[in-house]
Structure 1
Amino acid sequence: MDSRVLRTRRDVLTAAMDELVEGGWDAVTHARVAGRAGYAKATLYAHWPDRLALVRDAFDQVGRMPHHEPTGDLRADLVGELVSFRTAMTEHRLDRALAVLAERAGPVPELVEVRRRFVEDGERPMRLLLAPVLSGARLEAATAMLCGAVVHATLLHGAPPTDEEVEAAVDLVLVGVTGA
């Protein structure tokens, strides 16, 4: 893809996510996003015919944030992935984006698929790390517990988990894996 097109996509999708995070679903209009990104509304309509397409692609862009690079050490990799997730929640305002997505997925049924895909893509690295040692309901529970440690602390307590809390969450799950 042409570098200008890539830059335009990045600018517009970042502006769309900023509008979503700051003003909620109703703030994401082609006019507001175009103004914020510095492009004409016609440019946005040419690539994103409706708000849902714009929001879907904005979440896809957010979903491409860097993850921890696995080393083969399960504990270190789980901690690293949770730290990457915590960073995304705080530095990239993923906490606000997830809150808006959770809130609007009910009243806006089209967002249910966006939420499903976004969560699935976000949990994939954790599942891949755990899959060699867990399966079925145990894999689901461990994924939920580990990802939930970051989501719960950040969204419900207003502060991301500390390094010590991340490590404790991983250690608790690993005790369940090893039985020790």
Structure 2
Amino acid sequence: MSASPELSESAGAPGRGPDPRAERSRAAALAAARDLLVEQGWSAVTHVAVAARSGVGRSTLYRHWPDASGMVRDVIAQRISTAHAPPTGVLRDDLVRELDGLRRLLHDPVSDRGLRAVIERAGVDPVFARLKEDLYRHGSQVFRTVLEAAKERGELPAGLDTDLAVDQLAGPLMYRRLLAGRTVTEEYVQRVVHDFLAAHAPAAGSPPLVP
């Protein structure tokens, strides 16, 4: 199978935007990496396997992803980006929407397999340790934006530790799904947000939950 156009062409000509051929090549490479990740696990995502499945030349893949973990990172990052929603400024709604995005992410086969691989390898592989940190920063950014804005509006205590708040919101879902292997429901998301606001912003008026 012949190689697709170089991904390095993605910048395109000045004023013309990304080169569509290069964008298609990148999409094809990441689609192949995604399928390999789901079908066979992270160890199957290699330059050789992705090139064979996507038709993108190995030299191009090495140039843009010198380490195969970079392809795993970008596959997961794609999924994470679709789980976010722009904040509206309504604290409870924003927290529920963002946490529900995480819930859907944890039940998505691609991100579920990818996150488990990253967590598994991070303790023994510095590349995956850096990857885990990158994904954490990327995945928690909207939470941080929502929380900091709420502190500025006086809806949350100014001294609230943002890192701890992210842990209190996202931690229960990560534990329940990745460690306990249990389903995370929309009702569970509502309860986590309710309990968080009850502890830190009782005046926010979170509606009571139906048992």
Whether the TM-score (by the shorter chain) exceeds 0.5 is: yes
Q: Give the distance between the partners of 1:122 and 1:96, measured in 2 at CA.
A: 16
Return the TM-score normalized by structure 2. 0.74
Q: What's 2:170 paired with?
A: 147
Where structure 1 has 5 or more consecutive residues not aligned to the other structure, the ranges are: none
Return the TM-score normalized by structure 1. 0.86
| Percent identity of equivalent pairs | 38
Q: What's 1:138 paired with?
A: 161
1:25/1:104 contact within 8 Å kept: no
Could you list the structure 1 runs, at least 4 aligned residues long, displaced by more than 4 angstroms after superposition: 134-137
Q: What's 2:142 paired with?
A: 125
Segment of structure 1 superposing worse, 38-47 or 27-36: 38-47
Q: What's 1:168 paired with?
A: 191
User: CA-atom RMSD, angstroms?
Assistant: 2.3
| Alignment equivalent of 1:64, drawn from 56, 60, 81 | 81
Query: What CA deviation, in whole Å up to 9, does each residue of 1:47-78 have, x standing for no partner?
Result: 33332343343344344324122222111110
Segment of structure 1 superposing worse, 114-123 or 37-46: 37-46
Deviation at 1:83, TM superposition (A): 1.1
Where structure 2 has 5 or more consecutive residues not aligned to the other structure, the ranges are: 1-17, 204-211
Judging changes above 3 Å, is the alpha-carbon distance between structure 1 residues 97 and 55 closer, same or farther for their aligned structure 2 residues?
closer
The answer to which structure, 1 or 2, has the higher relative contact order (CA under 8 A, 6+ apart) is 1
Kindly indicate which of the two structures has a greater share of residues assigned to helix. Answer: 1
- Is 2:47 the partner of 1:30? yes
Query: What CA deviation, in whole Å up to 9, does each residue of 1:161-180 have, x standing for no partner?
Result: 21111111001000111257
2:89 match: secondary structure? coil
Task: Give the total of aligned pairs.
Answer: 180
2:166 maps to amino acid: T
Instruction: Indicate the structure (1 or 2) with the bigger Cα radius of gyration.
Output: 2
